Amino acid sequence: MNELLARAGPDEPMHRVRLLPCGDLATLVELPPDAGVLEFRADVAALGLAGVGELVPAARTLLVHHSAARGPVVRAALVTLPLRKPDPIATTAPVQVSVHYDGADLSGVADEIGCSVEAVIAQHQDPTYLVAFCGFAPGFAYLLGLPSALHLPRLATPRTLVPAGSVAIAGEYSAVYPRESPGGWRLLGRTAATLWDADLDPPAVLTPGRAVRFVAA
């Protein structure tokens, strides 16, 4: 395990990033809570380092794939990058996802936060979301931008089967289940949009850094 320093920018204090080798072909970069993962990913890509492959963001980490021979050079370069604060504004045109707001948890969410169903729908549709990272299942995108009033925990008992296309919230995120799967997120509605197709390139419609808008069907 390797713990190294990265700069936070001019006249700002230093913050630590941790570099964790993942075999010979990748390095996991653990970033501090106040650093933007997508911003760091963009800066790594901009370096144009030979031997660097896919850059996979998560909530607080970035997995950097690289050739075995270039590993030491890549790791040395990673700690020269300044850390930037997260920017919630996506630079791409939003992907519009049409939603039928008839989810099994919609009325329960309204009761829990003390407002009407219509107010929950309005709040969920209001932001432009940002795909922070993908995980849990192929094509499952974690969307930042959910209003704080809708920051609710997952269900105490997850469902054994959530239908494909379910639009849901949990914690600070919103998401769309791209296929049937178990899940404990609060279901607000459903969409007929296909967000994952293994025959497409790329197979996922919602990729890190994309903007997303939910609109009522």
Each residue's pLDDT expressed in tens, for the chain with a length of 217 residues: 344 545 544 444 445 789 999 999 999 999 998 899 999 999 999 999 999 999 999 999 999 999 999 999 999 999 999 999 987 766 678 999 999 999 999 999 999 999 999 999 999 999 999 999 998 888 999 999 999 999 999 999 999 999 999 999 999 999 999 999 999 999 999 999 999 988 888 888 999 999 999 999 9
Task: Flag whether 69 is in a domain.
Answer: yes
Cα 140 from Cα 137, distance rounded (Å): 5
In-domain check, residue 59: yes
**Do 114 and 191 fall into the same domain?**
yes
Contact (Cβ atoms closer than 8 angstroms) between residue 131 and residue 212: yes
Structural domain includes residue 43:
yes
The reported pTM is 0.84
pLDDT at 201: 83
pLDDT of 91 reads 65
Indicate which CATH number applies to the domain containing 64: 3.30.1360.40
> Residue 9 belongs to what domain range?
2-78
Domain boundary among 18, 49, 78: 78
* CATH number of the structural domain spanning residue 163: 2.40.100.10
Tell the burial category of 193 from Cβ atoms under 10 Å away from its Cβ (0-12, 13-18, 19+). Answer: middle
Quote the tokens at residue 150.
Answer: 């809708």
Give every CB contact of residue 28 below 8 A, 6+ residues apart in sequence: 19, 20, 21, 22, 61, 62, 63, 64
Same domain assignment for residues 131 and 184: yes
Same domain, 48 and 143: no
Domain boundary among 37, 53, 78: 78
Any domain includes 109:
yes
Query: Does one domain contain both 110 and 183?
Result: yes
In a domain, 86, yes or no: no
* Residue 74 located in a structural domain: yes
Interatomic CA distance for residues 212 and 143, integer angstroms = 8
Identify the pLDDT of residue 90. Answer: 63
Tell whether 90 is covered by a domain: no
Last residue of a domain, one of 78, 103, 135: 78
Query: Does residue 88 form part of some domain?
Result: no
63 and 122 co-located in one domain: no
On whether both 15 and 104 belong to a single domain, the answer is no
Closest CA to 195 of 217, 171, 175: 175
Count of structural domains within the chain: 2
107 shares a domain with 187:
yes
Domain check: are 190 and 104 in the same one? Answer: yes
Q: Are residues 40 and 102 in the same domain?
A: no
